[in-house]
Structure 1
Amino acid sequence: MLLLTDTQPQDSKVEPANSAQKKLLHHRFINLNWLRERFNHLRIGQKISYGYALAIGIAILGTGAGLKVGDYFRKQALIQVNVAQQQQQLLQNLQNSIFEARSHAARFPAVLGNTVWLQYEHDRFVQQINQAKILIAELQVFAIENPDWLARQEKDLQSILPRYAMVIDYYDRLTKLQLKEAEVWHLEANRIESAQLQLLRNRSGEEAIVLDTLSDHLTQLIATVEIQKLQGVEALEEAESLRNRIILGSMVISGLLAVLLADKTSRAIAQPLESVTNVAQQVARESNFNLQVPVTTEDEIGVLAASFNELIQRVSDYTQELKETQSQLIQTEKMSSLGQMVAGIAHEINNPVNFIGGNIDHANRYIQDLADLVALYQAYYPNPPDEIKDCIEDIELDFLSKDLPKTLASMKMGADRIREIVVSMRNFSRLDDGYMKPADIHEGIDSTLIILNHRLKQGIEVIKEYANLPPVECYGAQLNQVFMNVLGNAIDALEELKKADRAFSPTIWICTEVTADNAITVKIRDNGPGITAATAQQIFDPFFTTKSIGKGTGLGLAISYQIVAKHQGKIEMNSQIGDGTEFVITLPVAA
């Protein structure tokens, strides 16, 4: 009884499994037979048309899917890059405001006793503190609006930002309390020095450490956002690669399918024709009118086979009625006609720039004050001791007095130019609200060359052939960005060639002229290696670059193209391998 009880369930389990497999195989067999039957009912033209339609459809669907998938991931990557850029800008602005606030607070001891200056530094300090608080609020709103695209998770950012606000508020209140305790607003002359010492001790105390920690944390957060932005750029390249792979795969599959369908269709056509031909030859050879061609399809060949069978049957009937000679003649004539009939039928950056720029003016003023003081000393003490004379000669005081303001002016120009480039990059993503103003194009080119001077001094000669140009109504900062991008690319190309050939003499020619149609032309040419025709066709495409990873984003010339188009002008490139590259920028004089 126990053995029966054990074996019966095992048998009952095996039988349903076998039954299910048989049902599945039977179902597949029925479906396969149904497909074959439907295929056999099609006419030859339909078989060919449906086959190629299927292959082309797969190619189109694959291409469409590739474009759609690639565009989707590209859109996601663009969102990631844009959000990272906005977040980075907000964080950098916050860090700059903190730097500015601390800078103004650090100058409190130096301006004690000068009520006007102290009030100015105090007002600027309060302004930067308030700006920092506004930026924190904007960051909180930004985190809420873009929770899925942040470099840090929203809850982490939302927990960090209130701490930032508390640190800034603590620094603000502590600074104001120190000013109040020192009674800086009603400070007597004999108490200035002690108040300065008190403020200096406070400036290097706890609040300085807190603010340094906040600044370091912001730097780390900005670096994290920069990594996210670079990942977004890489995702753009991966999306383009994925789209190309899908399109290529669909084309390969459709090509293979077309080959398979062509083979299947040719077999479906050739095999019945071969059967008809064999039977016809056998009938003609053996005079056996009992032979029949198998009819396996309902297309033109099936009709031909059926007609041929009917013809054989009729010949057989006629043979029974006529004499043997007559039957042979009829058979010969029929086979001849049949042979003729069969024969006829078978044929797809910038963090510290604001801090530096904001302090250059103060540094310039301080240095000028010191220079004036030295001049006064020289006026009242024209015969200083020998040690002072020796020091004056060693430091070349006269040269230093003349060259130092020039150096500061150059630094100021560089900082201002970088600010203008950042503003132009921001304006590139939206309509410019400013106004066009008359500008000196030569001045813009020269200022760009000054900024690039540290790279030009490596042995690159610049030859300028300037015509007498009228002022051009334009967005001057944006055109300077165009000159920066074009000249920067020329320098990159020349540096690479210089590394390979030390005897090479790199040169850049800048030529300007006025054209007959009230426009001006700027030509920037180099004697670099040049580029291929295939590369030239994509040179203004966004994110296209021939530089190695980390050296170029592929946005410089795309942005330049947009800027020139915004001025109703045009930018063209002429280049040949071995003959260098020339960019021709044409701009209307009047807007």
Structure 2
Amino acid sequence: MTSAPNAKKPQLPSNNALALPASVSGWFNRITRRLSVSQKISYGYGIALGIAICGTVGGFIMGDRYQQKAIEARQDANQELNLLHSLQEGVLKARSHQQQFIPLTQNPEMLQDEYLHFLEHAAETEQVLSELKAYANSGNYQNSKHAEGLPGFLQTYEAVPETYFRQVKEVASQIDPVNLTLDKREAAQKLLLDFTNGPVALKFDGLSDELTEVIKLSSQDTQYAESTLADAERLRFQIVTISILLSVATAILLAIYTDILHQNICIM
């Protein structure tokens, strides 16, 4: 029985709707030209899986990099604020103990205890001030933006604490708590009062007042760092999501191309 004259021969299914762009297809064929058909299929699935994995990992790495920078900025801001609070605490306590010397001239034992407390807070203040200077000179601080004006503050009051503590010790060395007669007690009180109202002590008070403003501005820097970290975490999520989607899309296209190649082999 002969075929009808108008009957058409069976044709292979058209894959135009599923074919990759010509440039991608040509690129893939050039790379795999020397491979056997079975190798092309195996490698195609492997590459598709590899792209999905590498793209996802790359997205996490990029996102983590942005997030890590923001975390470090927040840590630096918190470190600065903690140092400033510690400095303020030491300054206030040292000044408070020094001012208590005047009424305690009537109680030698308590005066000696108060002086020991003063020395303790003076040492702590000098230690914190040293750490604060080191932080202000660090690369992390100098390579980032700050609004609190810490370098200017340290430059203005750099020698004030040392001068204040030294002169307090000099004044205290002129007082013998154990052998304070009435006349010596009155002289000691006058000496202490004159120092308390003198220029060095008042300059030390100015440091405390200025420090309050620096802490206020440093708190704003800390809030900004927290906000930046939140933005970085959102950006990280977006980068990871986009990288996963792009990787999966690329892997799907390669998988489709490999399936088409496999179907053509089966039909042939």
TM-score above 0.5:
yes
CA deviations 1:350-399 (Å, max 9, x no partner) are xxxxxxxxxxxxxxxxxxxxxxxxxxxxxxxxxxxxxxxxxxxxxxxxxx
Q: Is the partner of 1:148 in helix, strand or coil?
A: helix
Give the equivalent residue in structure 2 for 1:211. 204
Pick the structure with greater CA Rg.
Answer: 1
| Whole-angstrom CA distance in 2 between matches of 1:34 and 1:255 | 19
**Post-superposition offset of 1:166:** 1.1
Paired letter, 1:171 = Y
Give the equivalent residue in structure 2 for 1:136. 129
Give the equivalent residue in structure 2 for 1:107. 100
Residues 32/149 of structure 1: CA separation in 2 closer, same or farther (3 Å cut):
same
- TM-score normalised per structure 2: 0.67
Matches of residues 433-452 of structure 1 in structure 2 within 5 Å?
Answer: none
| Whole-angstrom CA distance in 2 between matches of 1:219 and 1:160 | 11
| Whole-angstrom CA distance in 2 between matches of 1:169 and 1:38 | 74
* Cα pair 2:94 2:121 within 8 Å, conserved: yes
- TM-score normalised per structure 1: 0.35
In terms of fraction of residues, the more strand-rich structure is 1
**Post-superposition offset of 1:103:** 0.6
CA deviations 1:43-91 (Å, max 9, x no partner) are 5544444444333222211221122223333433343333443433333
Paired letter, 1:101 = A
Q: Is the partner of 1:108 in helix, strand or coil?
A: coil
Equivalent residue in structure 2 for 1:250, among 243, 251, 261: 243
Residues 200/51 of structure 1: CA separation in 2 closer, same or farther (3 Å cut):
same
| Whole-angstrom CA distance in 2 between matches of 1:32 and 1:261 | 10
Paired letter, 1:128 = H
In terms of fraction of residues, the more helix-rich structure is 2
1:148 aligns with 2:140: yes
* Cα pair 1:94 1:135 within 8 Å, conserved: yes
* Cα pair 1:63 1:246 within 8 Å, conserved: no
Q: Is the partner of 2:163 in helix, strand or coil?
A: helix
1:98 aligns with 2:78: no
**Post-superposition offset of 1:131:** 2.5
* Cα pair 1:143 1:157 within 8 Å, conserved: yes
| Whole-angstrom CA distance in 2 between matches of 1:85 and 1:95 | 15
Residues 48/264 of structure 1: CA separation in 2 closer, same or farther (3 Å cut):
same
Q: Which range is displaced more, 135-144 or 65-74? A: 135-144
1:188 aligns with 2:181: yes
Structure 1 ranges of 4+ moved more than 6 A = 29-32, 150-153
Residues 51/173 of structure 1: CA separation in 2 closer, same or farther (3 Å cut):
same
| Whole-angstrom CA distance in 1 between matches of 2:173 and 2:119 | 15
**Post-superposition offset of 1:105:** 0.9
Gaps of 5+ in 2: 1-21
Residues 269/66 of structure 1: CA separation in 2 closer, same or farther (3 Å cut):
closer
* Cα pair 1:88 1:222 within 8 Å, conserved: yes
1:169 aligns with 2:162: yes
Paired letter, 1:112 = T
**Post-superposition offset of 1:167:** 0.4
| Whole-angstrom CA distance in 2 between matches of 1:66 and 1:107 | 62
| Whole-angstrom CA distance in 1 between matches of 2:165 and 2:67 | 44
**Post-superposition offset of 1:110:** 0.9
Equivalent residue in structure 1 for 2:64, among 67, 71, 88: 71
| Whole-angstrom CA distance in 1 between matches of 2:46 and 2:192 | 84
* Cα pair 1:112 1:184 within 8 Å, conserved: no
**Post-superposition offset of 1:31:** 11
Q: Is the partner of 2:159 in helix, strand or coil?
A: helix
* Cα pair 1:133 1:165 within 8 Å, conserved: no
Residues 70/104 of structure 1: CA separation in 2 closer, same or farther (3 Å cut):
same
Paired letter, 1:68 = I
Give the equivalent residue in structure 1 for 2:51. 58
| Whole-angstrom CA distance in 1 between matches of 2:26 and 2:118 | 86
Give the equivalent residue in structure 2 for 1:319. none
* Cα pair 2:102 2:192 within 8 Å, conserved: yes
CA deviations 1:13-69 (Å, max 9, x no partner) are xxxxxxxxxxxxxxxx99986754556765554444444433322221122112222
Gaps of 5+ in 1: 1-28, 274-299, 302-344, 347-591
**Post-superposition offset of 1:168:** 1.0
* Cα pair 1:108 1:118 within 8 Å, conserved: yes
